[in-house]
């Protein structure tokens, strides 16, 4: 009988320990537990150690409080100008209220996916193809605003929505590539023409500058030559004036001046001129010298 009670107590102790072990819950960082008591919401446990009432409480939902990312498959959408394209989006969201998430909507991720698809179709339906391709920021902002407002009752906050890919039909992609190629060729032609124009302008400016420098050099050469000739003339005149000044200072008489004129005449006679104009003063001296020569000759004859 004693052994039976021992076994019973041992089993009871084991059961109690198991119940206690199961009742102790440790909530890790960045997670939250939604607790129900007798099937009704009882509370939300955050990070730390907690105890469940055996057979009364249970963990209804374990929720991650980290920011999560969902990459949705491409969705077919139609633009305002009736072009069908495929667009895939990425949604960044975070759980702000685990209770609302647990009791607000069934399959929250599926709900967000469907809501994203319908919102994207509504926004793209108001835009034309060109606007869709160039208005990603506008699409992202509108989708984030609409999704954040719609998911707020579910305890979800949408932080960001990004349009990852926009894939128009193949024929439109081909047309866009041809357009882009033509635009690149046009820009290349414009750049080439501008380069040739600038080269011609620089060449003309260089020739103009060269002509100006040559003209300035010729003018400077002529000025230097004229200044040299003028300086030579001035020096000759200064020498002549200095000679006359020296003659005057030496009190030279008329005979000496006349003799100097005669010496100059002899130098002139050495040239190639066929006619010589003799001043009257020199003619007088020549006559005087001829008379003197005749007188000397007659004297010598009479002596004989």
Please list the residues that pair with 41 across neighbouring strands. 36
Alpha helices in 135-279 (DSSP H): 136-151, 170-249, 254-269
Question: Higher pLDDT residue, 63 or 219?
Answer: 63
| Nearest to 57, CA basis, from 35, 31, 27 | 35
Please list the residues that pair with 84 across neighbouring strands. 78
Stretch 286-294: mean pLDDT: 49
Give every CB contact of residue 267 below 8 A, 6+ residues apart in sequence.
Answer: none
How much of the chain is in helix, strand and coil states, percent to nearest 5? 65, 20, 15
> Tens digits of per-residue pLDDT, 231-245?
878 877 777 777 667
How distant, in Å, are the alpha carbons of 34, 187, 235 from that of 242?
129, 81, 10
Residue 2: per-residue pLDDT: 62
Minimum mean pLDDT range among 47-51, 248-252, 274-278: 274-278
How distant, in Å, are the alpha carbons of 110, 119, 171, 280, 294 from that of 150?
14, 10, 37, 135, 152
Stretch 74-92: mean pLDDT: 89
- Mean model confidence pLDDT for the chain: 80
Minimum mean pLDDT range among 9-18, 24-33, 152-161: 9-18
Residue 293: per-residue pLDDT: 46
> Tens digits of per-residue pLDDT, 166-220?
888 887 777 777 777 888 888 888 888 888 888 888 888 888 888 888 888 888 8
Contact 161, 116 (CB under 8 A): yes
Q: Which tokens sit at 297?
A: 């000759």
């Amino acid at each position: 009988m004693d052994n039976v009670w021992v076994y019973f107590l041992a089993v009871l102790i084991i059961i109690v320990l198991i119940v206690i072990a199961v009742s102790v819950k440790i909530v890790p960082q960045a997670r939250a537990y939604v607790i129900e008591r007798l099937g009704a919401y009882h509370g939300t446990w955050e990070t730390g150690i907690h105890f469940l009432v055996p057979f009364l409480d249970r963990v209804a939902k374990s929720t991650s409080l980290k920011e999560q990312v969902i990459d949705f498959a491409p969705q077919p959408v139609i633009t305002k100008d009736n072009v069908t394209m495929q667009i895939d989006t990425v949604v960044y969201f975070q759980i702000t209220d685990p209770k609302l998430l647990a009791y607000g909507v069934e399959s929250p991720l599926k709900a967000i996916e469907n809501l994203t698809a319908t919102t994207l179709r509504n926004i793209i339906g108001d835009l034309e193809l060109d606007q869709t391709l160039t208005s990603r920021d506008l699409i992202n902002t509108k989708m984030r605003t609409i999704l954040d407002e719609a998911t707020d009752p579910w305890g979800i906050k949408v932080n960001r929505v990004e349009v990852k890919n926009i894939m128009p039909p193949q024929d439109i992609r081909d047309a866009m590539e041809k357009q882009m190629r033509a635009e690149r060729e046009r820009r290349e032609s414009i750049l080439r023409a501008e380069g040739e124009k600038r080269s011609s302008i620089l060449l003309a400016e260089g020739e103009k500058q060269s002509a100006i420098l040559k003209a300035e050099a010729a003018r400077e050469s002529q000025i230097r030559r004229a200044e040299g000739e003028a300086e030579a003339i001035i020096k000759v005149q200064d020498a002549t004036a200095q000679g006359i000044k020296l003659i005057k200072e030496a009190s030279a008489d008329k005979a000496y001046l006349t003799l100097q004129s005669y010496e100059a005449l002899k130098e002139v006679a050495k040239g190639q001129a066929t006619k010589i104009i003799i001043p009257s003063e020199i003619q007088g001296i020549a006559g005087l010298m001829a008379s003197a020569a005749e007188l000397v000759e007659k004297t010598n004859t009479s002596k004989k």
